[in-house]
A and B are shown apart, each in its own frame.
Chain A
Amino acid sequence: MSYFELQCTSHFSFLRGASSCEELFAHAATIGIGGLAIVDRNSLAGIVRAHEAAKVTGIRMIVGCRLDLVDGMSMLVYPTDRAAYARLCRLLSVGKKRGGKAKCVLEWLDVLEYGEGLIAVLVPDEADEICALRLKRLADGFGDRAYMALTLRRRPNDQLRIHDLSNMAARFRVSTVATNDVLFHEPHRRILQDVVTCIRNGTTIDHVGFRRERHADRYLKPPEEMGRLFPRNPEAVARTTEIAARCTFSLDELAYQYPEERTMPGLTPQQALEKLTWGGVKDRYPEGLPDEVKEKLDHELALIERLGYAPYFLTVNSIVRFARSREILCQGRGSAATPPSVTSSGSRRSTPSATTSCSSASSPRNAASRPTSTSTSSTNAAKR
């Protein structure tokens, strides 16, 4: 039996989720779940970690996000391709820009505007008129990409609720899909979940009362159990696989696009970097270039070309040149690395031969991980 858990909240949903992506994926692997979708609230913050955890454990990861709209409607969205992902990012940017720091203000019309290619799953409460309204909207706006989530709450009248929701969905020709609205990876994490709820509400555990999560069992459940818990809705459990199959987008598809370099029109970034490098060599080694240094530079430039890092170094170069022009002291840090090529292109004053091939060591070939430039500038210098 195959099951994908399409509603997982990681701790990137700040003060709501209680488990890390690593924990969620590791646990999913042990209980036989086919894949997870991390749906943090109005945020894609967790998906990078999720992507890495997925690679490590071999469990599929589906990119998703939970949108909490201002009118109270909540929906889970999953981009089916890269273009849809781009639209989702833009949608979130719109919301965050509107809402300000740590807030996101989104309305239904925004979702419609950017919704192409997104699969949308309504998160319902009770099977009442509000739910009917939202289902209709969703069906009208998303057609066969519209679904509704069925989640057991372990509270009185659960079965009747599922039954009513299921019927209502059928009325609007929206397919149902089973989820467990996961907040943590295994049962004992519930205690931490209570604690973060207290922090979120600014109170203590003795006084938080009913603000704690009211629905029980918010942990990852194996496929057999999900099948057992939805005996009258096996199709909803099967639909998790269907949705997973439709969402073919993976973060692997993303290649980082550096901003275009304008300083040397007509040249590609790689060509520009090579020009700068060999130009700098002349200044550095007026008496001629030693063979070993030339070898190193060739090696590195080749590596840079293969990995496509040229634009990055050009950017670093621009920053350093600007800093120097203002007499601001600067130094590359961490993965900014200081390969000989950078040094010779004028960024650093140390001799290139002293540096070892740190560049090879510090550039993983994973396209998703890009070096980040953290140049520190001494503010004292600036004041001078």
Chain B
Amino acid sequence: MVGPEGNRNVVTAADLSARSLGIRIGMPATQAQALVAELVVQEADPDGDSASLDRLAVWALRYSPVAAADPPDGLVLDTTGADHLHGGEEAMLADISGRLAAAGVRARLAISDTWGASYALARVSADERAIVPAGRTAEVLAGVPISALRLDPNTIADLRKLGFDQIRDLEATSRAPLTLRFGPLVCRRLDQAFGRAAEPIEPVRPPDVVEVRRVFAEPIAAPETIHRYLGKLVGQLCAALEERGLGARRMDLLFGRVDDEVQAVRVGTSTATRDVKRLTRLLGDKIETVEPGFGIETMRLAATLAEPLHPKQTISSLTEEPDADVAGLIDVLANRVGEDRVYRYAAVASDVPERAVARVAAAALASDDEWPAGWPRPARLLQPPEAIETLALLPDHPPVSFTWRGIRRRVKRADGPERVFGEWWKADPELVAVRDYFRVEDDAGERFWIFRAGDGENAATGSQRWYLHGIFA
């Protein structure tokens, strides 16, 4: 991409293949075209790029209530308190990276304690997804080149001439001369990177979201006060939702502090709701994570995910017991451990034990499918099954003894074989695969579920090795 710089065109962006052929950002366009014969050149569209970046920032709100564009080519998110809802920092970064890749966007990501450090690491780290453990930001920053400090290129060049190469060099030197020579920005960038100076993120506001806001003439800080106003805001928001016939599935509560820092709290529900009490409870649980600092000036409550909600939702079945409001409990638990960690199990019509269960949403309606009664199943299932050593005789007989986790047990009683065939329509190896399951009991009375992979006669049916799959009560 080329764009004007002064009175000539320079390269503003180049893809991987162009760069591998020597094209550099800032290079005059004519030089670039001379370097690579079939170079495809397009006019840069800074406005369009900026709009796209903003849209991307709005998309990033699904990960955290505090997300913003960091022009020209970055996004910044404050994921404090939000990463566990996505399975932890690593899982969350992988998810972001994956989704962007699916949309054709190559991204480099970094998480650390400060905006400045993350900015730097995202651009210079060898890892495409860099995670700095809490508290280790300083030591990681030390070795970062000064070009990652968000200073303009001339300043960087001058600093280099003076012999400053990495951030630790700048940290080591006295500040007064730096400020004298380059102005206050250099030291400010250092302080921001190391977390000594605040750098608030102005969260992007998604359009068309139902939200309510309150500005405090006198900043508030006491928890009781926060709770009281929270209750009022929730009431107002639910009224606004009702007017539009909507229910909230996700709510973001943003606190604007006196020092411009934004603290955020996010909750989700399994079903759309306008229940003031329930939502106040969910949000209230999280208030303790909020640090009021010198005081809170504004509170903004937005229903960032809303769905149509009709006034009457009653249980139609007369035979079902009226369910206590388990939905509320499910939400509280889901917000604590993560939505995918609260579930029920449903029966799957499969003979293969590890496939016989499927996780479903905790609030899902009960299905009629059942597991076959009368075929004893173990209370604990080991996934994957653990290999055991056995002394076994004939195909239709259980082993005489087996060794599991180093302990040898004599088989006193056994039932079986229960022959489970592979599901031939799922994978070719399962065309002939067979597992012969045995329920075995040792001398002490401990009961186990073991199987032989194969029918004991035909080698094609399995490895003929034995495994322990479950423990009976």
User: Quick check: do A and B touch in the complex, using CB within 8 A?
Assistant: yes
Which residues of A pack against B, CB within 8 Å?
A: 154-159, 187-188, 190-191, 194, 205-206, 209-210, 214, 216-217, 228-229
Residue pair A188, B417 in contact (C-beta under 8 Å): no
Which of chain A's residues have a CB closer than 8 A to the CB of B421?
190, 216
Residue pair A156, B425 in contact (C-beta under 8 Å): no
Q: A154-B418, A156-B415, A228-B396 are in contact. List 13 more A-B contacts (CB 8 A).
A: A154-B419, A155-B418, A156-B374, A156-B418, A158-B415, A159-B415, A191-B424, A191-B431, A209-B350, A209-B369, A210-B372, A228-B394, A229-B396
Render B392-420 as a binary contact track against A, CB cut-off 8 A, 1 for contact: 00101000000000000000000111111
Which of chain A's residues have a CB closer than 8 A to the CB of B425?
205-206
Asked if B35 is at the interface of the complex by the 8 Å CB criterion, the answer is no
Render B78-106 as a binary contact track against A, CB cut-off 8 A, 1 for contact: 00000000000000000000000000000
- Our pick among B369, B372, B396, B415 for the contact of A157 (Cβ within 8 Å) is B415
Interface of A is mostly: helix
Residue pair A194, B424 in contact (C-beta under 8 Å): yes
Interface of B is mostly: loop
Residue pair B375, A156 in contact (C-beta under 8 Å): yes
Per the CB 8 Å criterion, the residue count for chain B at the interface is 21
Which of chain B's residues have a CB closer than 8 A to the CB of A216?
419-421
Residue pair A156, B439 in contact (C-beta under 8 Å): yes
Closest chain A residue to B369, Cβ basis:
A209
Residue pair B416, A217 in contact (C-beta under 8 Å): no
Cβ distance B376 to chain A, nearest Cβ, rounded Å: 6
Asked if B349 is at the interface of the complex by the 8 Å CB criterion, the answer is yes
Which of chain A's residues have a CB closer than 8 A to the CB of B375?
155-156
Render B410-445 as a binary contact track against A, CB cut-off 8 A, 1 for contact: 000001111111001100000110000001000000
Closest chain A residue to B349, Cβ basis:
A209
Which of chain A's residues have a CB closer than 8 A to the CB of B415?
156-159
Which of chain A's residues have a CB closer than 8 A to the CB of B394?
228
Q: How far is the CA of A319 from the CA of B432 in the complex (A)?
A: 56
CB interface residues, B 353-409, toward A, < 8 Å? 369, 372, 374-376, 394, 396
Closest chain A residue to B394, Cβ basis:
A228
Q: How far is the CA of A123 from the CA of B28 in the complex (A)?
A: 90
Given contacts A205-B425, A228-B396, contact A210 B349 (CB under 8 A): yes
Which of chain B's residues have a CB closer than 8 A to the CB of A158?
415
19 pairs of residues in contact across A and B, judged by CB atoms under 8 Å = A154-B417, A154-B419, A156-B375, A156-B376, A156-B415, A156-B416, A156-B439, A158-B415, A191-B424, A191-B431, A205-B425, A206-B425, A209-B369, A210-B349, A214-B372, A217-B419, A228-B394, A228-B396, A229-B396
Q: How far is the CA of A155 from the CA of B376 in the complex (A)?
A: 10
Closest chain B residue to A207, Cβ basis:
B349
Which of chain B's residues have a CB closer than 8 A to the CB of A205?
425
Which of chain B's residues have a CB closer than 8 A to the CB of A191?
424, 431
Cβ distance A198 to chain B, nearest Cβ, rounded Å: 10
Cβ distance B7 to chain A, nearest Cβ, rounded Å: 67
Which of chain B's residues have a CB closer than 8 A to the CB of A206?
425
Q: How far is the CA of A374 from the CA of B432 in the complex (A)?
A: 46
Cβ distance B121 to chain A, nearest Cβ, rounded Å: 47
